[in-house]
């Protein structure tokens, strides 16, 4: 015995091209919706990962623009301000501070990098404290330098790939005509550290003529202490600004919120357009089957049976469309990532679009829910067809 | 004769259509009684009201005036007009329909087409051995074929099988051979006669085909909406 959903499914096979086009429309809107939801989730995740990978919860930097400080934390930067090294000792005096690591950031234009040259970032770090804070770093080759004055370097995964360097190779600092020996290459971390070249702090200070100066101090707070209390105390230090990770996160989320609203609007419009397509397809199919629906009623189908039949057709379209949309979103996740990155003022290093099962399910439920709402009118229209009207239509 | 022995009892049935300011009288006070097990053919020229009368007797349409009882139960004329849902319930219980254009669902096989009524409603005494039904109509070899692969005569047999699966008391046929050649028309006529004779199904048929009408036990001629 044939069941009502089988009749509905086979009805959709009558006009294959129309059905496929409608499913494609739903799939495209599903792709946009899933990608958007994945972006909402992935962006925050990637940002958290970037921030967690720093190994410290608070950054103390020379007084200046807060956005610059945020950029410094996440990407490094040029035109940096410096503060006196003595600040690091002052910070360490606070009881709540567990550990600090001083840093000097330098970025140099390298004309030999890539096709048109590029910026090489050197981060001067303290060999005693920095490796401890970045405990999750693992080496592909070699190990950390130990002498704070040595002309050594540890390269992030991408930096080593780009420069084609291995342990024992030399790297030349442009403008300074000085060579560093590569003593370690890190494994991929998925953060901004992958593109960084780590150099002992004294070496960076010496090479770039900033002896006794720091760009920032990373502060690890005791787990029992309240971060806000420590922040408050550090505000009393002269000429520094204190940036907490929570602040950085909020600043960046504020910066990208416009882009998020824009992408969300596109998704809503895409879903609405797809649903207009669904109404059109089902309504056309109801009008084409006007007589047939009347005959079904003469065979004993109640208005609710016809309503159900047409609604099931809508349901099948939406299920197939949303599944295809999910597959599309998963398959094109990298392309979506690239497209979204172009729209954003700042993108964290990890994957921006994160699609998982609950998210895909949520998008499916949303599309099917909106689709079923869209299918109400055609189903109601079909349920109201009277057999006699369809027969008169036949006579005409 | 007792009312319960009557398949259909119609009294003073009228049907008036309005086309703009024009009033068209399709049926004008038609009264008739059809007994259970009867085989009736409505004949007459085009526009005489045959199909309109068949539709009203089959509860597909409401009369403008008059009374109608099916199997002793009043359907029209006593109380307000029945809703579409109520009419469907009566149709489910009493009728099977055959149409000139067959109206098979093109994407379903013969077997699936025949069992479509079961997706909506299944009578307690409905037929269970569908292959046997198809065999009795000579189309069991075509069970897995799509309607597009069948001849007109075979399609009408499938439509007859579909009308029979819920064991209707009354089979209504509107020009059942209208789209068939004379040989296939005779075949379909034979099928209808055997259903009436062997299974006692009441058959009411509208036809222009005099040979087919000749198979009926009663011929009722309509002219200008009157018997």
Ordered DSSP codes for B13-34: EEEEEEETTEEEEEEEEEEEEE
Nearest residue to A57 via CA among A251, A252, A222, A237: A222
pLDDT in tens, chain A (396 residues): 788 888 889 888 888 898 999 899 899 989 888 888 888 888 877 877 777 666 788 888 887 655 555 555 555 544 567 888 888 888 888 888 888 999 998 888 777 776 777 778 889 999 999 888 887 788 999 999 988 889 999 999 988 998 889 999 999 888 788 899 999 999 988 777 888 899 999 999 999 888 888 988 988 888 777 877 888 888 888 878 888 877 777 777 777 777 678 777 888 888 888 888 888 888 988 888 888 888 888 888 888 999 999 999 999 999 999 999 999 999 988 888 888 777 766 677 778 888 889 989 999 999 999 999 999 999 999 998 888 877 665 544
Cα A219 to Cα A91: distance, rounded to the nearest angstrom = 8
Partner-chain contact A391 B92, CB within 8 Å: no
Sort residue B66 into left (φ over 0), alpha (ψ -120 to 50) or beta. Answer: left
Alpha helices by DSSP H, A289-375: 290-298, 303-331, 333-343, 357-374
Cα A286 to Cα A289: distance, rounded to the nearest angstrom = 5
Partner-chain contact A301 B51, CB within 8 Å: no
DSSP E strands: which ranges in A129-187? 139-142, 152-155, 170-173, 178-186
- Find the CB nearest B120 among A6, A302, A387: A302
- Find the CB nearest A2 among B51, B99, B115: B115
Q: Which residue matches tokens 């567990």?
A: A98
Low-confidence ranges of chain B (pLDDT < 70): 1-6, 79-81
Contact (Cβ atoms closer than 8 angstroms) between residue B185 and residue B11:
no
Partner-chain contact B112 A303, CB within 8 Å: no
pLDDT at A45: 79
What are the distances in angstroms from CA A367 to CA A123, A225, A319?
A: 48, 47, 8
- Find the CB nearest A14 among B58, B95, B107: B107
Cα A200 to Cα A177: distance, rounded to the nearest angstrom = 17
Partner-chain contact A298 B97, CB within 8 Å: yes
Using a 10 angstrom Cβ sphere, with 0-12 exposed, 13-18 middle and 19 or more buried, the burial of residue B178 is middle
Please state the pTM of the whole predicted model. 0.70
ipTM for the complex? 0.84
CB atoms within 10 A of CB A283: 17
Q: Cα Rg for chain A, rounded, in angstroms?
A: 31
Cα B152 to Cα A125: distance, rounded to the nearest angstrom = 89
pLDDT at A380: 93
For the four alpha carbons of B110, B111, B117 and B123, in that order, the dihedral sign comes to: positive
DSSP E strands: which ranges in chain B? 6-19, 22-35, 39-43, 65-70, 73-76, 95-99, 170-174, 202-206, 218-221
Cα A337 to Cα A353: distance, rounded to the nearest angstrom = 6
Q: Which residue matches tokens 């990962």?
A: A49
The three-class DSSP label of residue A300 is: coil
Distance to chain A for B157, nearest Cα, Å: 16
Closest alpha carbon within chain B to A308 = B120
pLDDT at A251: 75
Residue B31 phi/psi, 5° resolution? -125, 135
For the four alpha carbons of A296, A298, A299 and A301, in that order, the dihedral sign comes to: positive
Contact (Cβ atoms closer than 8 angstroms) between residue A353 and residue A340:
yes
pLDDT at A190: 74
Partner-chain contact B51 A291, CB within 8 Å: no
Partner-chain contact A299 B105, CB within 8 Å: no
Q: Cα Rg for chain B, rounded, in angstroms?
A: 17
Cα A3 to Cα B66: distance, rounded to the nearest angstrom = 39
Measured over all CA atoms, what is the biggest interatomic distance in chain A, rounded to whole angstroms?
Answer: 99
CB atoms within 10 A of CB B132: 11
Cα A329 to Cα A353: distance, rounded to the nearest angstrom = 9
pLDDT at B1: 47
Residues of A in contact with B120 (CB under 8 A): 4, 296, 299-302, 305
Q: Which residue matches tokens 């979103």?
A: A329
């Amino acid at each position: 015995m044939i069941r009502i959903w089988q009749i509905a499914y086979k009805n959709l096979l009558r006009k294959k091209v129309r059905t496929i086009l409608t499913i494609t429309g739903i799939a495209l809107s599903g792709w946009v919706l899933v990608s958007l939801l994945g972006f909402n989730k992935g962006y925050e995740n990637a940002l958290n990962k970037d921030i967690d990978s720093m190994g410290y919860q608070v950054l103390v930097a020379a007084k200046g623009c807060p956005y610059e400080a945020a950029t410094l934390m996440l990407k490094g930067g040029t035109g940096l301000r410096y503060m006196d090294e003595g600040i690091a000792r002052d910070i360490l005096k606070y009881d709540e501070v567990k550990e600090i690591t001083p840093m000097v950031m330098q970025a140099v234009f390298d004309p030999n990098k890539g096709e048109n040259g590029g910026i090489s970032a050197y981060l001067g770090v303290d060999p005693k404290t920095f490796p401890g804070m970045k405990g999750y770093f693992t080496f592909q080759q070699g190990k950390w330098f130990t002498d704070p004055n040595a002309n050594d370097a540890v390269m992030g995964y991408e930096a080593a790939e780009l420069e084609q360097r291995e342990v024992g190779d030399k790297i030349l600092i442009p403008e300074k005509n000085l060579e560093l020996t590569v003593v370690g290459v890190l494994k991929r971390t998925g953060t901004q550290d992958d593109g960084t070249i780590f150099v002992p702090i004294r070496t960076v200070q010496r090479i770039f003529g900033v002896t006794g100066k720091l760009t920032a101090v990373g502060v690890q707070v005791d787990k029992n202490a309240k971060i806000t209390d420590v922040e408050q105390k550090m505000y009393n230090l002269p000429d520094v600004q204190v940036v907490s990770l929570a602040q950085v996160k909020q600043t960046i989320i504020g910066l990208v919120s416009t882009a998020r609203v824009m992408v969300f609007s596109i998704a809503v419009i895409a879903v609405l357009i797809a649903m207009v397509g669904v109404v059109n397809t089902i309504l056309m199919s109801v009008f084409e089957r006007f007589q047939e629906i009347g005959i079904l009623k003469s065979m004993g189908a109640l208005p609710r049976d016809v309503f159900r039949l047409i609604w099931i057709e809508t349901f099948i379209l939406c299920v197939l469309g949303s599944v295809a949309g999910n597959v599309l979103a998963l398959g094109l996740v990298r392309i979506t990532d690239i497209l979204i990155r172009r729209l954003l003022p700042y993108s964290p290093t990890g994957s921006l679009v994160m699609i998982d099962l609950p998210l895909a399910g949520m998008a499916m439920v949303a599309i099917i829910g909106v689709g079923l709402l869209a299918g109400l009118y055609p189903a109601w229209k079909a349920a109201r067809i009277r057999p006699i009207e369809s027969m008169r239509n036949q006579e005409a | 004769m007792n009312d319960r022995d009557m398949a259909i009892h119609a009294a003073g049935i009228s049907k008036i259509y309005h086309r703009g300011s024009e009033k068209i009288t399709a049926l004008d006070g038609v009264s008739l009684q059809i007994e259970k097990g009867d085989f009736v053919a409505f004949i007459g020229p085009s526009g005489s009201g045959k199909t309109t009368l068949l539709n009203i007797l089959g509860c597909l349409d409401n009369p403008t005036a008059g009374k109608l009882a099916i199997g002793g139960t009043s359907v029209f004329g006593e109380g307000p007009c029945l809703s579409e849902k109520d009419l469907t319930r009566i149709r489910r219980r009493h009728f099977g329909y055959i149409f000139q254009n067959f109206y098979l669902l093109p994407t379903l096989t013969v077997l699936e087409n025949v069992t479509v009524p079961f997706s909506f409603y299944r009578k307690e005494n409905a037929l269970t051995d569908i292959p046997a039904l198809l065999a009795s109509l000579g189309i069991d070899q075509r069970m897995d074929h799509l309607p597009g692969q069948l001849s007109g005569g075979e399609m009408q047999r499938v439509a007859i099988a579909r009308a029979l699966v819920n064991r209707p008391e009354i089979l209504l046929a509107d020009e059942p051979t209208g789209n068939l050649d004379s040989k296939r028309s005779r075949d379909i006529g034979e099928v209808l006669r055997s259903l009436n004779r062997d299974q006692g199904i009441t058959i009411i048929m509208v036809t222009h085909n005099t040979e087919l009408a000749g198979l009926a036990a009663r011929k009722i001629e309509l002219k200008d909406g009157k018997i």
